[in-house]
Amino acid sequence: MAVYGLVEILDGLRSVNLSEADGLDLEAYLLDCGDRVVLVDTGMLPRDLERIGAELEEMGRTWKDVSLVLITHKHGDHIKNLARVKELTGAEVMAGEGDVADIEAATGVKIDRGLKHGDYLDVCGGIEVIHVPGHSVGNLCFYLPRLRAVIAGDTIFGDDLGNIHPPPEKYCLDVRTAEMEIRRLLFYDFDALLLSHGKNLLKGAKSRVRMLCEEVSFRL
């Protein structure tokens, strides 16, 4: 059973648990950058917005403080609330350039900037864009050097035991590419791996990801 809670997991970074009672484990993230708040992914249900709103309140913030929304990829559980989030915040919205057209078609929201691998956002101590294709065309991770953390979206899935896995084939556009390209994360220096689905790894995550890449290449 998932625990619903308002949790600051790293300095200024909060995980918002949007899980449903029936077991779909889903998280969005809020980054408090002092001068602004960044939201990563939107969830899909009206209730998810209530939870994100409650987390903002806990931070002493409101929706109006959210000035940037980053989307990890185009799947419904990450974007279905985007139109409402845009109304509530007026925030700039960015997503992987390969997913922009589909997100715009699905949500009616104009994406202000299509992101590509290596793009650097000068907010919150810097956010580096890691493009990891395969789960979707424009699937992204976000590297936060200040926190030595990677927000991985659906690039890696976790389970309740704290194990990590490639994304399940049934959710992937091209699962072999999704598996092979996880190795892109190894170019970054991180301790924490923050997932959309499954238990986060807050320490020692890079060596775990390296082991996962070795398992994947062994299987291929």
Query: What is the chain's alpha carbon radius of gyration, rounded to the nearest angstrom?
Result: 16
By CB under 5 A, name the one of 154, 180, 197, 198 that touches Zn ion: 154
Task: Report, in Å, the least distance between residue 80 CB and Zn ion.
Answer: 12
DSSP three-state, residue 142: strand
Shortest distance, position 205 Cβ to Zn ion, whole Å: 20
Provide the mask over 94-133, with x wherever binding to Zn ion is found by CB under 5 A and - wherever it is not. ----------------------------------------
CB of 1 to Zn ion, least distance (A): 23
Min. distance of Cβ 135 from Zn ion in angstroms?
6
- Under rule CB under 5 A, residue 14 binds Zn ion: no
Q: Which is nearer to Zn ion, 75 or 131 (CB)?
A: 75
Cβ neighbour number for residue 41 with a 10 Å cutoff: 29
Find the distance separating the first CA and the last CA of the chain, reported in whole Å: 34
Min dist. Cβ of residue 76 to Zn ion (A): 8
- Residue 191 near residue 148, CB atoms below 8 Å: yes
Nearer CB in complex with Zn ion: 74/206: 74
Please work out, in degrees rounded to the nearest 5, the angle formed at the alpha carbon of residue 179 by the alpha carbons of 210 and 150.
55
Kindly state the number of chain residues that form the binding site for Zn ion, as judged by CB under 5 A: 2
User: What does the longest C-alpha to C-alpha distance in the chain come to?
Assistant: 49
- Residue 132 CA from chain centroid, whole number: 12
Residues forming beta bridges with residue 113, ordered by sequence position: 94
* By the rule CB under 5 A, 80 interacts with Zn ion: no
| DSSP designation for 103 | H
State the residue for tokens 């959710």. 171
Residue 58-77 contact track with Zn ion, rule CB under 5 A, x = bound: -----------------x--
**Residue of this chain nearest to Zn ion (CB atom):** 75
Binding site for Zn ion (CB under 5 A): 75, 154
